[in-house]
Structure 1
């Protein structure tokens, strides 16, 4: 069975910005996130990143800049002894009516298909409601991290649990490193 983890990018792996991460210099890893990905790799997991990048549609940065940000992420992970097996991104804006933009399921479905993932055995880790919704719609296990928009998402879920498409107990972790510790050491 494929051991697959699907991670959101902004707010989970790197620091998020309400003004969008627009350059390689602005792409700054959250402390411990790169090491956490390497630990997942060393524990036998395949890692996919599924990320909305509407900054492309909005004209805030180019596809080449996005690719450079991802190259920086891949290089940092490799330097820690890990690897990311696939990066899936949606370049569309909210009004483009695409199937890939989370909370729709296209990005998650692409990763599941590529890695032959069985949804009920795959974790989707995110900091926003749309990450959790996309994972839940696909039948994946979902986890919330409190970095990025995580605290706002946690508050929203406690006020309106019906925001998820199914009734689920959503485990909450301080950050990606905390999630990985629970997964690898405690077998959540």
Structure 2
């Protein structure tokens, strides 16, 4: 673990991480965990950029529109939103576990991904973070238990920095481990 890193940005997965369970909840039906908005605000107040990065194949299936996600996530306080709208069969560069969204954000915001944290509930979040060189925090909410049990073979070679009970626990650990003030 390299806690001498200076954390510049946190990438938060949407479904299962900032609220919800292991299913997709479309904009308008998505309610944050009670502590999520305050955590986003605190990170930003402490000089950390907070980005949403999310796979949303329902967009390409016509079940939702990109602008609805962007509007919702912007209202939650995110500094920027990165969405993969593609179906998994498309083999795009942006869909997690690929690193396209992370790389696009790094270029756009002039960040080194080594100084970024990914907090998510799925194996694909952790694999993308690992490939990009980010700090990796898996939350047990959403699909987190499945990532640790049913999909462990996909992440067993990844050294996770922390496994958190939920987003609040993840951010608390981040503040303690990396001395964010």
Pairwise TM-score range, normalised by the shorter structure: 0.7 to 0.9
1:2–1:153 Cα change, 3 Å: closer
Q: Does 1:72 align with 2:53?
A: no
Counterpart Cα distance in 2 of 1:12 and 1:119: 20
Q: What per-residue deviation string (whole Å, max 9, x for no partner) do you get for residues 56-86 of structure 1?
A: 11222233xxx23432333243xxxxxx211
Query: How far 1:5 sits from its partner (Å)?
Result: 0.8
**TM superposition shift of 1:130:** 0.5
Match of 1:149 among 143, 154, 157: 143
Residue matched to 1:21 = 25
After superposition, the Cα gap between the structure-2 partners of 1:167 and 1:97, relative to the gap in structure 1 and judged at 3 Å, is closer
C-alpha displacement at 1:87, in angstroms?
0.3
Unmatched 5+ stretches in structure 2: 1-5
Q: How many residues align?
A: 174
Q: RMSD between aligned alpha carbons? A: 2.1
- CA 1:165/1:155 → structure 2, altered by over 3 Å: closer, same or farther? closer
Distance 2:30 2:162 in 1: 27
Distance 1:22 1:57 in 2: 13
CA distance in 2, matches of 1:152, 1:164: 11
Question: What is residue 81 of structure 2 aligned with on the other side?
Answer: 87
Given the superposition, is the C-alpha separation of residues 165 and 92 from structure 1 closer, same or farther in structure 2, using an over 3 Å criterion? Answer: farther
Mark the runs of 5 or more structure 1 residues left unpaired by the alignment: 78-83
Q: 1:179 matched to which residue of 2?
A: 170
Q: What TM-score does the superposition give when structure 2 sets the normalisation length?
A: 0.86
**Correspondence for 1:40:** 43
Deviations for 1:136-178, whole angstroms, at most 9, x for unmatched residues? Answer: 1111111101111111112246x42xx2395413411111111
